Structure 1
């Protein structure tokens, strides 16, 4: 396990701002609500509140240090680096935000600096029920306004089913920028995770236009041509490490949250195996009983309810370079996993006092968190920095 950093007692104060399209109104709001300094409570980082959002879901950094932040109800915001200005981004399709649905992940095209293309996921209602979709558009800014133009839905989960749970919808680009990996949850329906024709309960590999990538490992066996791996539950984090390994986290049922190393064509076993149990108390055989299924690298019981995932690559926290950071929802925690090549072990778990939906790495190596703001409530954007 890696060494922790020196601990200081107090965090810096920062503005905690309400949302709105007008820059001056945002600035006034920032001046009116100054966040108090926060004690680290034994944590090896300062915690600085930066802004507030209504049930935020995901964020990503632009090359100039600004951010795009999604809110569950269907709004995307272009946010200044200091959090004081929030500009609504128009052009987002209609979103079904019932239950676990909403406007979800947001990720920049690998060549965003040249093409201004933004990818995002959202849930919608359609024939047969509801599902998760992948879309992209071009970010345009004019006269203090922002919009996604030429928005296209480029991939749709199949099939659409009833209910409003386990959409997943996380996005990651391969290190070479050629492919897009997209997670589809099993929608609390269990069996689709093993159904070769469904995309539900799967990690998918797509071309950048949303079509299934050639050479996916299971297409010749009769699977949907986009499937990269299967036997998953609710996949709320996916990220590549510096060596090109793909890591994924998912919620187990009653117990059995997982961090997985994703290998092409592998079956991760759900719902046939899980180290958790059904919510009604019925047992599910553990992974060790069925060695033909790919086993998790780290497992949590009691659950942490994993949200966002990053593999840290910055210089601000050098002892943590290469480790995984996971947002904990029910655990209200930030979790560090010590990664060593293709192996992983539990590291630290810091109580953050609120549900953590998203984790991101900032341009300077700071770690940024989005609180969940459950049921439309205010979720803070927090910046974690190393004590000097």
Structure 2
């Protein structure tokens, strides 16, 4: 079960919330779409590539009919990256430079939580995502990803430890997995975490954004450009597709990815979904199946940043998976979650994605594994949305990147 939303599933349908004006800054709900069926994207694409099927990009726009109440809970976070809901309804949030904070729904922040391994916070690196153990209420164990300096380069590492009773430190923090090989780059770490139904961790990695490292996304002897599945001890999870294949990493679940920064479990099908960055165009949403190759950099709907075609300039090839949906121009999709609450019924089972360069929260309506509608929420806030989570009250909570990182609450009026 996705620990970012299991509380909302359990607590169900009621939305009970009171606003304390001393602790909240009211903002306009704001949506970047209108009530028509025109696509929400109005800018021209970077390429002349055509989609493989109808509805793969620029789907019709939709508009949330439920009146929304959007508030800034706090603007005192320092480059937040990941957020997870705790059993008591508070939030555990990572900050890129190497600390965590606990936030209440009224905007109170804890002192920085220390005790974590040293992170390499240069570029896109730092302390990344966080997940709590399914038994956190009794064992207080947390898992986290971070960029680790491992000469001659850096890599994406997975750590675990126990949140102390006084919530001031992480005790016994240790590294349980390293996505090797290390590479001399400060970009494309991936780093998102989500639980499968059996208590194993899905972990995303990037291909490190270098022409030299890029081919490793297509190599099964490398952990770069992959979705991995590991146990709580950092070992390959039972049932992984390459467990018995020589010269393949047994922790690999899927391959051919560029930079996966969103992972979520579809509550209807139980499938894993992800979003990943394209280059100049070609951001993707994929439904992940074990052992499948998602194509980067052999096929893509994006271009090199120079405007030239990537590789042979093809978007389809036999044996390589097509994205369920893609964007051109990019929105830079980051953390995502399927909404499972009852507070806003029209959002049920929709996928919500924080968009960085897009500066909005993506809402995708998904039916039978196809995207049937798209909305842009909070576009008027002009914030780089890094991650989104469902709260115990059935509202969505989102964090935005920056020196004065914000925590938003998006709920029913």
Normalised TM-score (structure 2): 0.82
* Local SS of the residue matching 1:106: strand
* Local SS of the residue matching 1:40: coil
2:192 to 161, 165, 170: 170
CA distance change for structure 1 residues 194 and 272 in 2, over 3 Å: closer, same or farther? same
Map 1:1-388 onto structure 2 (within 5 A).
Answer: 36-41=25-30, 44-52=67-75, 53-142=77-166, 145-177=167-199, 179-188=200-209, 189-221=213-245, 222-242=247-267, 243-284=269-310, 288-350=315-377, 351=379, 352-373=381-402, 377-387=403-413
CA distance change for structure 1 residues 254 and 85 in 2, over 3 Å: closer, same or farther? closer
- How many pairs are equivalent? 353
**Contact conserved, 1:185 with 1:201, CA < 8 A, in 2?**
yes
Q: CA separation in 1, counterparts of 2:412 and 2:338?
A: 17
More strand by share: 1
Q: CA separation in 2, counterparts of 1:287 and 1:266?
A: 18
Deviates more, 1:40-49 or 1:352-361: 40-49
Q: CA separation in 2, counterparts of 1:318 and 1:151?
A: 40
* Structure 1 residue 85: Cα displacement: 3.5
**Contact conserved, 1:13 with 1:49, CA < 8 A, in 2?**
no
**Contact conserved, 2:151 with 2:182, CA < 8 A, in 1?**
yes
**Contact conserved, 1:298 with 1:346, CA < 8 A, in 2?**
no
Structure 2 equivalent of residue 3 of structure 1: none
Normalised TM-score (structure 1): 0.87
**Contact conserved, 1:298 with 1:345, CA < 8 A, in 2?**
no
* Structure 1 residue 379: Cα displacement: 1.1
**Contact conserved, 1:197 with 1:224, CA < 8 A, in 2?**
yes
CA distance change for structure 1 residues 36 and 214 in 2, over 3 Å: closer, same or farther? closer
Larger relative contact order (Cα-Cα within 8 Å, sequence gap ≥ 6): 2
Q: CA separation in 2, counterparts of 1:197 and 1:38?
A: 49
Superposed CA RMSD in Å reads: 1.7
* Structure 1 residue 78: Cα displacement: 2.0
1:68-117 Cα distance to aligned partner (Å, 9 max, x none):
11111111112233222323212111111000001000111111112111
* Structure 1 residue 318: Cα displacement: 1.0
**Contact conserved, 1:122 with 1:133, CA < 8 A, in 2?**
yes
Q: CA separation in 2, counterparts of 1:287 and 1:241?
A: 29
- 5+ unaligned residues in a row in structure 2: which ranges? 1-17, 32-63
* Structure 1 residue 39: Cα displacement: 2.1
* Local SS of the residue matching 1:193: helix
